[in-house]
Structure 1
Amino acid sequence: MNPTPPLTAGTLTAAALDAAAAVARLLPSTTPLTATPAEPGALPAPDEVAVVASFVGSASADLVIIAEEAVREALLAAADAGSPVALADALRPALEAACAELGAGVLDAATTATAGEAVASDAHLFALTHDGVTRAWFALRIRAEPVPAREAGIPTQRAGLHVLYDVEMTLTAELGRTRLPVRQVLELTPGAVLELDRTAGSPADVMVNGRLIARGEVVVVDEEYGIRITQIVAGSDGIA
C-alpha cells in the first residue's frame, strides 16, 4: 500500500481546512454548519467548555472543539430519551473525522477544559457558522511539523512508524449503514428492523478509527463472531 505522505508547510493549511470542514459535517448540530478561518482577533469566550484530544500519526496534533451550545439540543434529546451522552462522546465522531484528514494514526481519549486553556495562540482557529452566526469553534495545532523523510535522512516513513507498532488500535466491523432523523432514532423500539445500505451476503467493512482498511466475511469462531479478511483496501483509504 502507498504510505500517506507527511504533512509539509505547503499542505498544512489545506489539511487544517479539510479537518475543519469534516468537524462541521459531523457535529450533531440541529443546523448545518460551515467552517471558515476565524477573523483576526476573533476568539471563543475563555470560559466556554472545550473538548480536547491529541492525535499521533502522520502528524502529531492537538484538536479542540468548542460546541456545547451548538449540540445542546441533541444532548437534551438523548437525555430525555433515557440515553444521556457526555459532551466528549458526542463530539468523538467529529474528532475522528478531523483526524482522518491528517492521515493514519491514533486519537487518544478526549478530555474537557476551558477554551482559554485549550486554544493555543499558534493553532489554526476556525469558526463554525450558520447563516453568518458563529455556533461553534474548531482549533487545530500541529505540535511538530513533519520533515520530508529524504530531508531528515530517514530511510522511509514506514521506518519512522516503528515507534507506534506496540500501540493498540480498536478495529470495528461494519455490516452497513443507514441514516435516520433524530425523531425516528428516538422512536426505535425492540423488534424494529433497520434497512442497511448493502445487500445480504456483501462483505463487512473493517475499520480503524473510522478509516476503511479491509473487507471480509462474517464467521463464527468458538461461538463468537469473527471476520475472515478477504480484501485489504489499498490507496488513500487504507493504511501503509
Structure 2
Amino acid sequence: MNPTATVNDQQAVAELARLLPSPVPLAPRRAGEFERPAPDATAVVATFVGQTSAELMVVAQQSVTDAMAGAGALSLAEALRPALEAASRTLGPGVLGTAETRPAGEVFTGPGTVVYALDAGVATQAWFGIRAKGSAADAAAPAAPLPSGAMRVLYDVEMTLTTEIGRTRLPVRDVLELTPGAVLELDRSAGSPADVMVNGRLVARGEVVVVDDEYAVRITEIVSTENLG
C-alpha cells in the first residue's frame, strides 16, 4: 500500500522538478503503487537531518542525463545536489548530508517511501522519492517535528558557509564557452554587502575584508529566521 503523501512531500518534489537539469519542463505526479525506476538505475541519495528528517532520492532518466552532458568534471551526485538541496529546504531548518549514488532498487523500496514520477508529456524523465526518518513503526506516517530542544543534538554538526557577492544567469552554451579572461557581470553593484549562505539559505550579510592576507567577511546584518522559511 502506498504511504500517504504530505504537503511537505509535494512542495519538495515541486522544488526538485524546478531545478532538475532537463531540456523540457517536468510535471510531478504521485507514482502508482507498482511504478518504480528500474532496480539497476543509478539513484542519487542524501539524508536531511532537522526538525523534520528524511531521506531524499532522485533518479534521472536518459534525457535528463543528456542535459548534463558537457558539465565537465561534475559527477552525477554533484550535478543533482542543487535540486536535492532545493527539495530539502521545504522541510525546514536542518542539514543535508553528502549525496551518494546507490542502485535505485535499494532505496526506492521499504515502508514509508513516497515516490513521484516526473513526466514530460507521456514519458517519465525522472523519479523522486522521500522517506521520513524514524522507527519502522512510524515510517509510514509523516515525521513529527522534533521539540526545539532536540535541535541541540545538531549543535556539533559542522555546516559549510559560503559567501556570495552576486549572481548572473547564462545559457549552458555560454557557460561551456567560458575562457580565462572572460568577465561576468553580476547582479549587484560594487560595495554592496555579500550574502552569507548556509545550505543555500541566506543567514547573514556582511562586507568583504582582508585578514592576514586572506579574504574574510565582517558580519553587518543577521537575517531574521522568520524570513528563512
Give the TM-score taking structure 2 as reference length.
0.89
Give the match's secondary structure for 2:133. strand
Please list the CA deviations of residues 35-81 of structure 1 after superposition, one character each: whole Å capped at 9, or x if unmatched: 22113321111111111111111111111100152432233222xxx
1:118, 1:130 → 2: CA distance?
24
Q: Which residue number corresponds to residue 139 of structure 2?
A: none
In structure 2, C-alpha distance between the alignment counterparts of 1:142 and 1:51, rounded to whole Å: 17
* Higher-RCO chain (CA-CA 8 Å, sequence separation at least 6): 1
Question: What does residue 61 of structure 1 align with?
Answer: 54
Q: Following superposition of structure 1 onto structure 2, how do residues 88-167 of structure 1 map, counting pairs within 5 Å?
A: 88-121=77-110, 122-144=112-134, 145-147=142-144, 157=148, 159-167=149-157
How many residues are treated as equivalent by the alignment? 218
Evaluate the alpha carbon distance shift between residue 224 and residue 68 of structure 1 in structure 2; reply closer, same or farther with a 3 A threshold: farther
Encode CA deviations 1:132-190: one digit per residue, 9 max, x unaligned: 321000000111354466xxxxxx51x21111111000000011111111100011111
Distance in 1, Cα, partners of 2:36 & 2:167: 37
Question: C-alpha distance in 2, partners of 1:44/1:30?
Answer: 20
Picking from 69, 75, 81, the partner of 1:76 is 69
Identity of aligned residues (%): 56
3-state SS, counterpart of residue 81 of structure 2: helix
Worse-matched range after superposition: 206-215 or 226-235: 226-235
Moved more, 53-62 or 36-45: 36-45
Equivalent residue for 1:41?
34
Aligned to 1:50: 43
After TM superposition, give the deviation of residue 223 of structure 1 in Å. 0.9
Q: Distance in 2 between matches of 1:146 and 1:139?
A: 15
Give the corresponding residue for 1:15: 8
More helix per residue: 1 or 2?
Answer: 1
State how far apart, in whole Å, the 2-side matches of 1:117 and 1:38 are: 17
TM-score for the superposition, normalised by structure 1: 0.85
